[in-house]
Amino acid sequence: MLLPLPYYIESPGTAESVGDHLVVNHKKDNKNGDFLLTTVYVQKASPLTLLYSKLFGKYDEILNENEVTGGSSNQEYDVLQRYYMTDSINQAKFVAFKAAHKKVSLEFQGVYVMSVLEKSKFYHVLKPGDVITSIDNKKFASEKGFISYVSSQKNGQKVRVKVKRKGVSKIVVGKLMPLDKTKKSGLGITLINKTNVETEIPVKANVASLGGPSGGLMFTLQIYTQLMDVDIRHGQKIAGTGTMSSNGEVGDIGGIDKKIVAADKENVSIFFAPNNELSSAELKSDPNALNNYQLAKKTAKQIGSNMKVIPVKKFSDALNYLENIKNSSH
């Protein structure tokens, strides 16, 4: 009855203090209120948990193994989630330090290969954990530059890829393939920036228990608050979600309905949600699709929450909102 099935169950997780995970300039955050990081609980399904989820898990989602892990082994998946978190902290540091006008530098070290599609011509050539440092002898300043170059090439074109594997550089060669969603050329990999951030003021993050990129926005708010030594929470519990790019843009995440439920259980006052437009491809496949903010707002209403759901596209949107809250209103 307890045998694992090839499915995973995603359900509302926790909302925990971001300040508990960060030390900035050798100090913990001692201001009133809290910035909270919301999580989604993921478990491998058994017949018993699957039945319970279908009967009682209103906001549970049942996914097949590939949808969750992308074909990676459990070990690879855990490594990727930790890598996502490391990059999330790096982006948060960079954006927070820039906003606070503190000295910071970000070095793009290449593109980290997270997984390789089975139908990719690079399937047996590239490996998860490889860092691509150049293509056709061209180096890039970000993953966007990398993607832009590759997608501008012809499908089937042969490219020379320089990778660093376990500290050793090597050249691999393969043909580009049309990607499913866009039909543009690609290597057939999932990827993430590999970056290094240097700061004069030390920031220590203890995130061993966390994974994924979705805490970017909340980490940025927490680091900024501690750098500036300001009180922008006014004693409130403030949650949110969204990835963070080095230019301050807040990216979309999965499971925002579950994160709203988790935040509401902690009596959160404000929840920041990414508000990016859906692509034409997304709307074509589902004309009724909702973006992160729309789904968050809908879920908050469904559960009767008093929490204010605030749409954000950039870090500055969240910061401006908090700075404009009048103390007298609380």
Summarised one tens digit per residue, pLDDT across range 114-139 is 888 888 999 989 988 899 999 999 99
Q: Which of 53, 88, 185, 214 is catalytic?
A: 214
CB atoms within 10 A of CB 246: 18
64 with 6: CB under 8 angstroms? yes
Res 87: pLDDT: 86
CB atoms within 10 A of CB 72: 20
Most confident of 14-18, 205-209, 283-287, 291-295: 291-295
Is residue 214 among the annotated active site residues? yes
Record: fold of 108-195:
Pdz3 Domain (2.30.42)
* Distance, CA of 219 to CA of 196 (rounded, Å): 17
In tens, the pLDDT along 138-151 reads 998 888 889 899 99
Q: Which of 121, 237, 259, 297 is catalytic?
A: 259
pLDDT more than 70, % of the chain = 93
Give the mean pLDDT of 238-250: 94
Give the pLDDT band of residue 273 (cuts 50, 70, 90). very high
Res 72: pLDDT: 65
* Distance, CA of 91 to CA of 106 (rounded, Å): 9
Looking at every residue in the chain, the average pLDDT score rounds to 88
- Flag whether pLDDT at 222 surpasses 90: yes
Going by C-alpha positions, the residue among 94, 89, 68, 88 that lies closest to residue 23 is 89
Cross-strand partners of 41: 11
**Which residues in the chain are classed under CATH 3.30.230?**
9-40+80-103+200-329
Structure tokens at 42: 């993921």
Give the mean pLDDT of 80-100: 90
237 with 269: CB under 8 angstroms? yes
Lowest mean pLDDT among 23-27, 46-50, 295-299: 46-50
The dihedrals phi and psi of 206, each to the nearest 5 degrees, come to -110, 90
Amino acid occupying residue 257: D
Q: When comparing pLDDT for 143 and 209, which is higher?
A: 143
CA dist 152 → 136, 147, 325 (Å): 13, 8, 46
- Flag whether pLDDT at 251 surpasses 60: yes
Is residue 98 among the annotated active site residues? no
DSSP conformational letter for 18: S
* Distance, CA of 280 to CA of 284 (rounded, Å): 6
Q: Into which CATH architecture does domain 9-40+80-103+200-329 fall?
A: 2-Layer Sandwich (3.30)
Task: Name, in order, each residue with C-beta under 8 angstroms of 52's C-beta and a sequence gap of 6 or more.
Answer: none
DSSP conformational letter for 65: H
Res 329: pLDDT: 47
Res 67: pLDDT: 66
CA dist 176 → 125, 136, 169, 183, 291 (Å): 13, 12, 21, 11, 31
Res 2: pLDDT: 55
pTM reported for the whole predicted model: 0.83
- Flag whether pLDDT at 57 surpasses 70: yes
Give the pLDDT band of residue 167 (cuts 50, 70, 90). confident
With vertex at residue 84, the alpha carbon angle to CA 262 and CA 138, rounded to the nearest 5 degrees, is: 150
* Distance, CA of 257 to CA of 11 (rounded, Å): 9
Cross-strand partners of 163: 132, 170
**Which residues in the chain are classed under CATH 2.30.42.10?**
108-195
